Structure 1
Amino acid sequence: MTNPLLAEWNTPFRIAPFDAIKDEDFAPAFTAALEEAEAEITAIAENPAPPTFANTIEALEASGAALDKVLGVFFTLAGADSNPARQALQRDFAPKLAAHSSWVTGNKALFHRIEALWRDRDALDLTAEQARVLMLTHRAFRRAGAALSGAEEEEMRAIMARLAELGTAFTQNLLADEAAWHMELAENDLDGLPDFVIDAARAAGAEKGLDGPAITLSRSLIVPFLQFSPRRDLRERAFAAWAARGAGGGDTDNRAIAAETLKLRHERAQLLGYDSFASFKLETEMAGTPEAVRDLLMRVWTPARARAEADAQILTRMMRADGVNGALEPWDWRYYAEKRRQAEHDFDEGAVKPYLQLDRMIEAAFACAQRLFGLEFRALDAPLYHPDCRAWEVTRGGEHVAVFIGDYFARPSKRSGAWCSAMRGQAKFPRVQGPVVINVCNFARGEPALLSYDDARTLFHEFGHALHQMLSDVTYESVSGTSVARDFVELPSQLFEHWLEVPEVLAEFARHAETGAPMPRALLDKVLGAATYDMGFQTVEYIASALVDLDFHDGAPPADPMARQAEVLAELGMPHAIAMRHATPHFAHVFSGDGYSSGYYSYMWSEVMDADAFASFEEAGGAFDPERAAALERHILSRGGSEEAEALYRAFRGRMPGPEALLEGRGLAG
């Protein structure tokens, strides 16, 4: 029988036939597709004709289609619905893929063809996008070590293979720790918890096969438990487990993996002639240098830390009033911050959640996309990889644009966090193809599923990434969608979050799960008014992680990352009661791969732009101003990485912004 991964997919819009794919199909499909990709590369490199853009760069763009197809399915499953067989396959595939990548960039005949085109680029009569693709291809080969030879080339190859193994192990260890831990709750342990937390705990317990409720390490469950549980002993237990992920000793401990990863990244950078991995990594980002990153982070850190320290004094007094002595601890902060929010703002998240139904928030995101960009969404009946998933066809003016898949609920087989990926990117070469885009989240289950305001913001954030993929309109897939600088990729996602805060959006879609009544105006005002509440805490926990990430990669690697993490936090004057958002052993952004290594700052770099970009709507005709929406699509969402990020933003806004709008938006100005 034909392997379904390698066959033509006669499904709606060529979505992967998940119902026909078995785990045992992946290894033979991977092997066959890898061999095909290598044959295609060899044919390009050994072409006797002189190099042209068509026979070299476009040929590279068209190569590896079967491999991309297999891996698009596999990595979707490995992240969102893992199992032991898939984890074993991932461990097997990672070094082979790294070796393949090193083999491609180490192919001297191929690199010489690219070099020749780069030297003669001014005489090639290329379009702007073609010139960009040539530059990016040439740069990628040089940064991968294509100009190395001999022992240095072999060393680079070994480093990349080992880094792939380490990233896979880090991810799987973290998933194992998160899946293994739970805390069973007796009925009296539920006292003081709002109904939505109790319902989510009962659902989590049932999923674990328990008779009663349980707290797991899903962020959508553990964070509200820390917010609302009056039981300090249980909060401490839960927080300790949350903080200890990847650092519990034994086979799933990530600390040695982090140390070896940092060492190898530094060696990689030095082989390429850079002083540090941060200098190497940031060269191609908007920020450009570690110094520029540190300058932005510290400009925000100072007012944020001052706000957090002032808040800590207030929370400590509240704790004393409860008869609790000793220091305010990280497992206390969210609980007393929530009590303070209820007291000062008359704001109760438990009263808000019934108005934030998952289905209505999906409808809200779709409605905003329709008003801004004319997109329409129609439920699609197609085979998907898990019963939780649902799919929509995205059209505009009756024309197909994309397929969008949503996978929203937490489960043990899914890694933590939220993300957007494309199983297939938009392109017009070598054939026209619409993207297949997936949003994956980890929301708590319920009947109906209710979101916190932070959950709803996450949904809008990931959908902003999806819009970047869906509205892409370029020729070559290598520059489509989110294929942009790391510190630019978060602009569309963080910008789209602002539409959740538009009063008319909440007025229409924030309706009570039982009565269908709209959110009362007084409650809506409280939701919007509390948007910057506890921003000192949120900013400090984020910037601390970003600065530790930068420090790890800016200079010689630390022999003991945990010791260096403690030193960095001490140098910053990290408030005692606030923990890093992502401590080293579970810092998946940085250690599951090098996508966000030296780059966790990028959320804040993009936030400088998103605050300024949304202000341009407000300065015009409002949140749904058609001219601003058209400019956003024309200059940013449709362009992918076909031009430098700064040029795209300047075309949209006319200038680059400073951090003032960010500080204002976070309530930290003045």
Structure 2
Amino acid sequence: MTNPLLQDWDTPFALAPFDRISDNDFSPALDSALKAHDAEIAAITDQAEAPTFANTIEALKAAGRALDKILGVFFTLAGADSNTAREALQREFSPKLAAHFSEISGNKRLFRRVAALWEQRDRLDLDPEQQRVLMLTHRGFLRAGAALQGAEESRMKEIKARLASLGTQFTQNLLADERDWSMTLDEADLEGLPDFLIDAARAAGAEKQAGAPVITLSRSLIVPFLQFSPRRDLRERAFRAWQARGANGGEHDNRAIAAEILAVREERAQLLGHDNFAAYKLETEMAKTPEAVRDLLMAVWKPARAQAEADERILTRMMQDDGVNDALAPWDWRYYAQKRRAAEHDLDEAALKPYFQLDRMIEAAFACAGRLFGLAFRPLDLPLYHPDCRAWEVTRDGRHLAVFIGDYFARGSKRSGAWCSAMRGQAKFPEEQSPVVINVCNFAKSDPALLSHDDARTLFHEFGHALHQILSDVTYESVSGTSVARDFVELPSQLYEHWLDQPEVLEEFATHAVSGAPMPAEMRDKLLGAAHFDMGFQTVEYVASALVDLAFHDGPAPRDPMARQAEVLAALDMPEAITMRHATPQFAHVFSGDGYASGYYSYMWSEVMDADAFAAFEEAGGAFDPGRARALEDHILSRGGSRDAAELYIGFRGRLPGVEALLRGRGLD
């Protein structure tokens, strides 16, 4: 019992003792926890008593807590601070965990107990949350293949193990390509770049021990480089490397992996009686059908493409005025869009960025949560998994609610993107349990750390997810926090982005990194006035990705996903100067796991709701209206997945929304 992962944690807030955990602890701890979980499941199935909600469903929810504790630590490290040992462990653990959970979901004796309770559900005197947990448990067994027999049952276990391995391989290949590529800049290459970008490039070079500034494939570096570098040749080189992630040939190429994932997913869906994976996946989402998803995306695609084409003509003329007699290319768009933004809105990103200091934006996110929900944040001095991480205790009226951890800076050991996860979710059963919530971002590191407006929006977005976890107030962890339908989970995060752009928030927290002066009102008004700028580009690159994802899964699995991607884009008449936000070989949302597979549309589905939900605040008297804040917490943020998503939204708003608010919000109406 010297393994810290197998001990009770006597740390503050029972936080993982990261300073005592080594990579060598994970494998023996996992084996021990798996055996313990097997024994807990056997105790449920071996009992002679007839099934009850307590001895079957609650016993199932109470089982595996040691395993959850270990995996919460491991997957935090694997995503945010990986190394070769952890990558090897992830490859080892993925099929092992898939097999373990396949055994549970395929346990016929356990399923019979669950099914018996489902059959008598109307006579069990369950409260609404218990009814929901029973339904989700029963449905989960069915969707996992519990009713399959013989060869089909065996094949389903093989499929789950294979998908787990493929998803891990896809993610690690992408991380390797992002980690291995960099472009060294000499002094001449720095000409025209703003100071904040030069500082970030120097910091990235120092991390790579390059001895010179470098551009890496971190979004926080490459996007501003594409915006500001006057060197078209360097922009092209960087953009092509960014687009080639996962498609460079050799051992890290993801194209064959993507094809196999799609084929195996299709087989899985068909074993469960569905025509294709999209029909299987969307059955439990708010959208319900591929047709509903396609209708939404196409309703937005048409005006977005028209706007993007009009913008492309303007940017092409600007490029030709610079003496470049060529068609506008994807590595040109951001550069000329930035110049156009500066000209039309008198907004210069280099002048704007000093007003978005990371520390001040964290303060802003906390302050808004304080005004809306009465939350307070106290810094904690605790050993965490990386020196860049920071932690806070979250309280309300002096009562402990959660621990929040922020991990904000890009590094080679961290996968790209931004995400929120819970190392421990909120629950009251089998005992009171407060959440430990983590926001992970990839901002460029500098002193002071400066964000773009888009970066600041990402910070607010991820903190919106964190609030969904922090304010959760349910009994069972399986329905707490963000355990909701995939096309509902982005509602709290996208809704919270609106508070960043409130004039009173910017006035207080958007202060200059050197002078400390607040952002001038004129600059603030120009920033907010440019809210719809380049929205055609942003919408087209997103919707194209969502439609490709849907096409991959709504029909026969393509043998050549790259050819299918090209077909979908051609049918859409995709503008040549815009690429998908996530091309297939780097589409981690879709291929690193099933979470967003056939579900990348969910950001836009949620945006329909978030635009309508924020309108409810505006109609009630303002962004900080206490009545609307209370309703948001009572009906959505505190309820997790304890009710149907549509029911939760109607409870907050009184009705479901239409697409009109989204189009207005994007300036596409």
Common topology (TM > 0.5)? yes
SS of the equivalent of 1:403 reads strand
Tell me how far apart the structure 1 counterparts of residues 501 and 610 of structure 2 sit (CA, whole Å). Answer: 14
Deviates more, 1:318-327 or 1:65-74: 318-327
Give the 5 Å matches for 1:426-445. 426-445=426-445
TM-score (normalizing by structure 2): 1.00
**CA distance in structure 1 between the aligned counterparts of 2:531 and 2:47, rounded to whole angstroms:** 59
Deviation of 1:383 (Å): 1.3
**Separation (CA, whole Å) in 2 of partners of 1:328 and 1:514:** 37
1:559 offset after TM fit, Å? 0.5
Specify the code of the residue in structure 2 equivalent to 1:275. D
Does residue 304 in structure 1 map to residue 324 in structure 2? no
Structure 2 counterpart of 1:651: 651
| C-alpha distance in structure 1 between counterparts of 2:228 and 2:534, whole Å | 15
CA distance in 1, matches of 2:590, 2:292: 19
CA contact (8 A) 1:511 1:518 kept: yes
2:635 is aligned with 1:635:
yes
SS in 2 for 1:16: coil
- Spell out, residue by residue over 1:13-51, the C-alpha distance to the aligned partner (whole angstroms, 9 max, x if none): 000000000000000000000110111111111211100
Q: Give 1:181's aligned residue.
A: 181
Q: Residue by residue, what CA displacement relative to the aligned partner does 1:555-607 show, whole Å, maximum 9, x if unpaired?
A: 10000000000010000000000000000000000000000000000000000
- 1:111 matches 2:111: yes
For residues 60 and 530 of structure 1, what CA distance do their matches in structure 2 show? Answer: 52
Q: Which residue of 2 aligns with 1:5?
A: 5
Are 2:172 and 1:172 equivalent residues in the alignment? yes
Corresponding residue for residue 576 of structure 1: 576
Q: Name the SS for the 1:420 alignment partner.
A: strand
User: Which amino acid is the alignment partner of residue 419 of structure 2?
Assistant: W
1:534 to 2:568 alignment: no
Counterparts in 2 of 1:37-52, with a 5 A limit?
Answer: 37-52=37-52
Structure 2 equivalent of residue 620 of structure 1:
620
* Farther off after superposition, 258-267 or 338-347: 338-347
Q: Which amino acid aligns with 1:149?
A: Q
Q: Deviations over 1:434-490 (max 9, x none)?
A: 000000000001110000000000000000000000000000000000000000000
Q: Is residue 11–residue 382 contact of structure 1 (8 Å, CA) maintained in 2?
A: no
2:266 matched residue in structure 1: 266
For residue 95 of structure 1, what is the amino acid of its counterpart? P
Distance in 2 (alpha carbons) for counterparts of 1:348 and 1:177: 32
CA distance in 1, matches of 2:45, 2:221: 53
C-alpha distance in 2, partners of 1:221/1:76?
Answer: 24
| Distance in 2, Cα, partners of 1:629 & 1:144 | 38
Q: Which amino acid aligns with 2:51?
A: P
Letter in 2 for 1:495: L
What percentage of aligned pairs have identical amino acids? 77
Matches for 1:163-562 after TM superposition, within 5 Å: 163-562=163-562
Rounded to whole Å, the distance in 2 between the matches of 1:383 and 1:45 is 41
Distance 2:581 2:621 in 1: 37
How far, CA to CA, are the matches of 1:589 and 1:532 in structure 2? 26
3-state SS of paired residue (2:4)? coil
Write the distance in 2 (CA, Å) between the matches of 1:309 and 1:606.
26
Distance (Å, rounded) in 1 between the aligned partners of 2:535 and 2:235: 22
* Corresponding residue number in structure 1 for 2:30: 30
Shift of 1:91: 0.2
Q: Which ranges of structure 2 fall in alignment gaps of 5 or more residues? A: none
The answer for the alignment partner of 1:567 in structure 2 is 567
Displacement after TM superposition at 1:530 (Å): 1.1
Give the RMSD, CA atoms, in angstroms: 0.5
Deviations 1:161-188 (A, max 9, x none): 0000000000000000000000000011
Please tell me whether the aligned partners of residues 166 and 261 of structure 1 are also in contact (alpha carbons under 8 angstroms).
yes
The residue identity in structure 2 corresponding to 1:103 is E
Partner of 1:587: 587
- Matched letter for residue 440 of structure 1: V
For 1:5, what is the secondary structure of its paired residue? Answer: helix
Q: Which residue of 2 aligns with 1:81?
A: 81
2-structure distance, mates of 1:113, 1:350 = 63
State the AA in 2 paired with 1:223.
V
Summarize deviations over 1:489-537 as a string: whole Å, max 9, x none. 0000000000001000000000000110000001101111111100000
User: How far has the Cα of 1:325 moved from its partner?
Assistant: 1.5
Instruction: Report the Cα offset of residue 381 of structure 1.
Output: 1.3
| Number of residue pairs aligned between Structure 1 and Structure 2 | 669
Unaligned runs of 5+ in 1: none
Distance 1:533 1:634 in 2: 35
- AA matched with 1:74: F
Q: Distance in 1 between matches of 2:211 and 2:31?
A: 45
**Contact 1:357 1:510 (8 Å CA) reproduced:** yes
TM-score (ref. length: structure 1)? 1.00
